[in-house]
Amino acid sequence: MRIILVEFPWQTEQIINYKSSFREDVIVSLDAESSYILKTNKIKYFETYQFCNHKELWLKYKEITARTIEITKVLDKALWSTDQRFKDLNWKFFNDYHYPIKISFDQLFYYSELISALIEKFNPSEIIVVDTKEIIINNHFLIHSKISVIKYLLKTFKGSFTKIKIRYILPDQNKNLYSILIEINPNREKDTKIINTLLDYNFIFDKKQVLESTRKSGTHEGYAEYLFFRK
């Protein structure tokens, strides 16, 4: 079973266009507009509140806030030890910016609770999330709304669910990339990583085509032309 976390409306396009491919998947919307699109197109999906008990989380509010205050203390201590100017001014820089730190922490905490609940309930073999590459901070010192942090959060879970495959999908500006042709040798560790990375990004290849193009002798023995197609 796969779990698909929908954070952006552009993700719904693929789900709607290939309904049959997602029929057995658990689709969870983290975005109001995405929920509307899925609902109007009669796509079965879940809302986050169906897994996270908001009343229980609200009871932890003071505890969560206390954690973020401790985080700012640790950061300020580290800053003072590396830059004497802040210490001389008695400027607790991160404490002054506690609010944006708290907002980001709250988001990560909520997502971690959600993912834990989903894993416990469905025991998935695969989780599909967005990879927006880099983290961008906006002018208010908050994570930009077009950026997904779930990829980074899942990396901290890695030891907890090593059997679960994490697959990434790219933002819609890359959706016109349908195929990639590369010549590589699957016997080389670096080339194996390339293959696995493309598979993680929803590309597939024809094993028969690869076998037929594999060089059987010579300097480049073992190399083959891999023609990857987006699923």
User: What pLDDT, in 10s, does the model give residues 117-167?
Assistant: 999 999 998 898 988 777 888 888 888 888 888 888 887 765 556 678 888
123, containing H or E segment? none
- Tell me the C-alpha to C-alpha distance, in Å, between residue 43 and each of 7, 19, 92, 174: 16, 8, 49, 24
Supply the mean pLDDT for the chain.
87
On the question of pLDDT at 74 being above 60, the answer is yes
- Tell me the C-alpha to C-alpha distance, in Å, between residue 25 and each of 55, 127, 143, 188, 204: 28, 10, 29, 34, 19
Local structure of residue 47 (DSSP, 8 states): E
Q: Residue 212's pLDDT is what?
A: 86
Q: Residue 105's pLDDT is what?
A: 93
d(CA 179, CA 181): 7
On the question of pLDDT at 180 being above 70, the answer is yes
User: What pLDDT, in 10s, does the model give residues 196-214?
Assistant: 888 887 788 888 888 988 9
If pLDDT is split at 50, 70 and 90, which confidence band does 73 have? Answer: very high
Local structure of residue 50 (DSSP, 8 states): G
Q: Residue 36's pLDDT is what?
A: 95
User: What pLDDT, in 10s, does the model give residues 26-54?
Assistant: 999 999 999 999 999 999 999 999 999 88
On the question of pLDDT at 171 being above 80, the answer is no
| Residues with Cβ within 8 Å of residue 171, at least 6 apart in sequence | 8, 10, 130, 132
101-123 average pLDDT score = 93
Q: Residue 72's pLDDT is what?
A: 97
d(CA 33, CA 89): 46
If pLDDT is split at 50, 70 and 90, which confidence band does 176 have? Answer: low
On the question of pLDDT at 101 being above 90, the answer is yes
> What are the structural domains of the chain?
2-55+99-173 (3.40.50), 177-230 (no CATH)
On the question of pLDDT at 183 being above 70, the answer is yes
